[in-house]
């Protein structure tokens, strides 16, 4: 009889590449005297494992300050890595909170095609429902009929109302109608799907601005959240997307998805370090329950390969 993997087991899978690489890189560096040269090697090993340069420099600094020249076991090094990574991640690990008054809180979900927006919306809706919030979805990706159908299927599965329009229809109009319905029916959270690929970037940004303008006219505080969804399997490319979207789209927070299987989990640390944007949740699969806020300590210990050491 097989049981399905737990959240922790799936996390281990998603960070395996980063963790294996890091542990492999650090192997053999412990037990020796920490010379300048060894410290240099350790710092390079950390950067090669996708951790950002600042976190790597902090680890080096920590190792140099207290223990330089002393014998340092490999496990000791990894514990320092875990502590420093945790400091970086703890600053950004920020669950999405539902605080908007008046309701609804409007969450605009953006990101390039295939990054996992629609799936993340379904998972987020499920997570919020579990917290007893009333959730509604708006199908603002009208670029393809399949995108509308995909969100509708998820809405049925999760059990939340959805507002849709025609393929090729005006997303701003759909969003306007969704806010009206959400207000009328006392919905707490309205989550808006958006298109990730239009003819060109200009058009995509224009469409997002138009949605924002319409929302802002209904309530100046809206959208309350602009969440950029990133695909962790794309490594450095995920960082480039933050660069592209953060200012023009007014990103307020991130969700990192596909942190399962073939993910390059270290990119989570790199993103945290470089941009300092709140990271609301991480996604580790295609199921409804595969999205959660993350525990900076747990993730750091997994990355550093010390999760079983107390």
Ligand X SMILES: Nc1nc2c(ncn2[C@@H]2O[C@H](COP(=O)(O)OP(=O)(O)O)[C@@H](O)[C@H]2O)c(=O)[nH]1
The CB-of-33 to ligand X minimum distance in angstroms stands at 43
Q: Which of 243, 286, 289, 309 binds ligand X (CB under 6 A)?
A: 286
Whether the CB-CB separation of 252 and 280 falls below 8 Å is answered with no
Q: Is 194 labelled a binding residue? A: yes
Q: Is 258 labelled a binding residue? A: yes
At 51, list the tokens. Answer: 């951790």
Q: Is 118 labelled a binding residue? A: yes
Whether the CB-CB separation of 34 and 67 falls below 8 Å is answered with yes
Cα–Cα distance measured from residue 257 to residue 162, given in angstroms and rounded to the nearest whole number: 23
- What is the per-residue binding string for ligand X in 190-229, x denoting contact by CB under 6 A? ------x---------------------------------
User: Which of Mg ion, ligand X, none does 116 bind, CB closer than 5 to 8 A by kind?
Assistant: ligand X
Q: Which of 88, 142, 257, 300 binds ligand X (CB under 6 A)?
A: 257
| Site for ligand X contains 171 (CB under 6 A) | no
305 sits in the region (left: phi over 0; alpha: psi -120 to 50; else beta) called: left
The CB-of-231 to ligand X minimum distance in angstroms stands at 7
| Site for ligand X contains 111 (CB under 6 A) | yes
Cα–Cα distance measured from residue 138 to residue 192, given in angstroms and rounded to the nearest whole number: 5
User: Which of ligand X, Mg ion, none does 114 bind, CB closer than 5 to 8 A by kind?
Assistant: ligand X
| Site for ligand X contains 283 (CB under 6 A) | yes
Q: Is 208 labelled a binding residue? A: no
Among 24-32, 110-118, 127-135, 235-243, the segment contacting ligand X (CB under 6 A): 110-118
Q: Is 59 labelled a binding residue? A: no
- Residues in contact with Mg ion by CB under 5 A are 117-118, 147
| Site for ligand X contains 140 (CB under 6 A) | no
| Site for ligand X contains 261 (CB under 6 A) | yes
Tell me the CA distances in angstroms from 280 to 16, 120, 199, one per residue in order. 22, 12, 30
Q: Is 253 labelled a binding residue? A: no
Cα–Cα distance measured from residue 303 to residue 190, given in angstroms and rounded to the nearest whole number: 34
Q: Which of 13, 116, 171, 265 binds ligand X (CB under 6 A)?
A: 116
254: phi then psi, degrees, rounded to nearest 5: -125, 150
Nearest-CA neighbor of 256 among 9, 248, 239, 287?
239
Residue with tokens 């629609």: 118
Strand partners, 106: 190
Q: What Rg do the C-alpha atoms of the chain give, in angstroms?
A: 21
Cα–Cα distance measured from residue 62 to residue 205, given in angstroms and rounded to the nearest whole number: 43
User: Which of Mg ion, ligand X, none does 13 bind, CB closer than 5 to 8 A by kind?
Assistant: none
Q: Which residues fall in the annotated binding site?
A: 111-118, 193-197, 257-260
């Amino acid at each position: 009889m097989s049981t399905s993997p737990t959240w922790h087991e799936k996390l281990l899978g998603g960070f395996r590449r980063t963790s294996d690489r890091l542990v492999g890189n650090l192997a053999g560096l412990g037990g020796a005297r920490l010379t300048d040269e060894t410290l240099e090697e350790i710092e390079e090993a950390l950067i090669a494992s996708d951790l950002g340069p600042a976190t790597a420099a902090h680890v080096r600094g920590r190792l140099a300050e207290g223990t330089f020249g002393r014998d340092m076991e490999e496990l000791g090094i990894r514990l320092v890595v875990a502590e420093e990574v945790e400091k970086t991640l703890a600053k950004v690990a920020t669950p999405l909170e539902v605080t908007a008054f008046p309701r609804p809180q409007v969450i605009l979900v953006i990101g390039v095609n295939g990054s996992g927006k629609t799936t993340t919306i379904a998972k987020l809706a499920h997570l919020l429902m579990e917290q007893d919030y009333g959730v509604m979805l708006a199908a603002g990706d009208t670029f393809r009929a399949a995108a509308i159908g995909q969100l509708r299927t998820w809405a049925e599965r999760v059990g939340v109302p959805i507002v849709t329009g025609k393929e090729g229809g005006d997303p701003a109009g759909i969003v306007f109608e969704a806010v009206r319905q959400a207000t009328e029916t006392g919905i707490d959270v309205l989550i808006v799907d958006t298109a990730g690929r239009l003819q060109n970037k200009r058009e995509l940004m224009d469409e997002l601005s138009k949605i924002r303008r319409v929302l802002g006219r209904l309530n100046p505080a809206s959208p309350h959240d602009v969440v950029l969804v990133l695909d962790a399997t794309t490594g450095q490319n995920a960082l480039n997307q933050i660069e592209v979207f953060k200012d023009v789209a007014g990103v307020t927070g991130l969700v990192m998805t596909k942190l399962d299987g073939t993910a390059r989990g270290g990119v989570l640390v790199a993103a945290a370090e470089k941009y300092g944007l709140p990271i609301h949740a991480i996604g580790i699969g295609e199921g409804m329950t595969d999205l959660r806020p993350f525990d900076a300590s747990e993730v750091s210990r997994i990355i550093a390969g010390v999760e079983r050491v107390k």
